[in-house]
Structure 1
């Protein structure tokens, strides 16, 4: 029985660590933004410049520990690594749950959003599993001879960094955010017919003889003049429907909204996105400028949206010589729209039909002819790559899970 619980604990931790490390690793910038939130919340602003490095290390470490556990390589490193991770993060998530300095911990990136309390309760069985596995670590037999374990562990370590490096130099392989390709922004901002709304209860505070008491709208002492009204507040009692997108707003320098005109634009519209011009890749703006002139020639709309203030935009345009117009938007929104600075998204009637990292911006002739068909072809290529990765993973897991010696050992100890 002990052997079986050890087996379950190992796979539980392995799959959790692999999933957590992978979904965060394919979006290292998103993980870096979350680290920035933590640093700001805990007064560690001086660490914010190193958020991306922390992101790479954390994602790779989780994935590495999970792979070691899965393949039973370097068992001592894997078991202690899992235990120390849970020893650190379980109390941390408890603190987050109590004080709520950050809305969600980001433990599964944007793939699964958990509240801080949900994260803490999720960590409890994982922490228990890591303790149990640490105590019974000698029951975990290594898959490979010791002479090969160093080489295999080194290979797994290299593999653990691949998702983050790919995600940094390209857009995330899987886009879990509400601005993925195929999303119609207008529809994602709307309320479906019959969708439930937020329900609130009003609490009224009255005072009498120095004693303050709470009342509702049903029982407050409106006929008793000896009670003096003090205050009131609305309390959410049931959360209603929240659209996937709630903050997509674009304005010009005068503060006038340009959102509807862009989302309702007849034809294609290219949006270059740079959340901060002082942190952008300036070299790519020469290609964006060329793309702007081609778009104007083809009747395609074009604008660059940024959160930089107008004076920085003026300095930037003077420095780079770009001719396209700029619009303003919230920085967090722009970081969410595309994980690249700059990045490019292609709209048609408010629907996102293309997204590109600045290292993969298509040549201007891409926007000639049937653009929609080209975008669909690109999407099919990305899906093929994703399915290949999934199939390789499934085959690897299948080989491990049905290994005869593993089943025999479990049966022997039951």
Structure 2
């Protein structure tokens, strides 16, 4: 569903720029040059957010702001300047942010805010605060920007909530709390989660000069002193969320095969070895398969490398569809691997056989080139927890499948 944004701005050139920014990040946009026009549009449409000019011909003192707020529209205020009188008026309302139209950077910041707002719904934040009123206030700030919020009333409770909700990626914690204080909580969190996975922001009303350093040395990423300015709170939070997303992007690029979007060989080795340690502890039998697209070189030779790439992508999509709960990867060229989660030989054989049949029957439909192809597979199952040995044994079975006619499974 396309999200809709309302721009309330009486200067046509500025409205045009704002509209371009909003459209570029995926919004449908309506523009109102006056408060009356805005009221009429609000009656007609449901808006995901609004960008509101502070001064309008029929609303010279920020009167448009309470209109969008009352309509439950997350609101970003843009102003020509931000003197104390204007700031006091703006901060009276529960807006997302306010931006001054001072320079080009203001519009870059607006774009960033419009991009972030829909993404915030996927970000889970844990507030750790023993004061109910302080916890409620921080929650209000977060909900305003559409974050998902969890709460804990002390450090021990926070560890329990974190264990039950592994999707939490940001912790905002007070210092003075019973059972575990904020710094001690940081130490406990860092025993299991590094700062590339979870960002921690410490907060405190204490006047101790060294408290910020204590928080950061205990594992926090940032620190804010209470009472904090809402604008600074949002900026610090946004920076930490951006940091986590940038790290996740770098990891994804490092661990993903660029041609097929499957996990790559490096990722497969890292994750498979983790799984094998668990299997070894439980003395599980391990099921691992190697697969190879038959006659792939002739596809490239006869149809070109673009066609070969299309075959790889189509095959990879089918592999993901058939083995959604297993560890799969492109190992290189036309060779792929599967480390089965269940380690059930009969089930693995059944899945692989069905997959081979599916490829033979449907491969023409995988790309615009309509190239038919088949796949061979080798499966090993054994109480062996050395990855290199498992891959070697599966590869031997794959070679036997190739030698005995291809388009088949040997196990």
What TM bracket, shorter-length normalisation?
A: under 0.3
TM-score calculated relative to the size of structure 1: 0.22
Higher relative helix content: 1
Could you say which structure has the larger radius of gyration? 2
Higher relative contact order (CA 8 A, sep 6+): 1
Give the alignment's TM-score, normalised by structure 2. Answer: 0.22
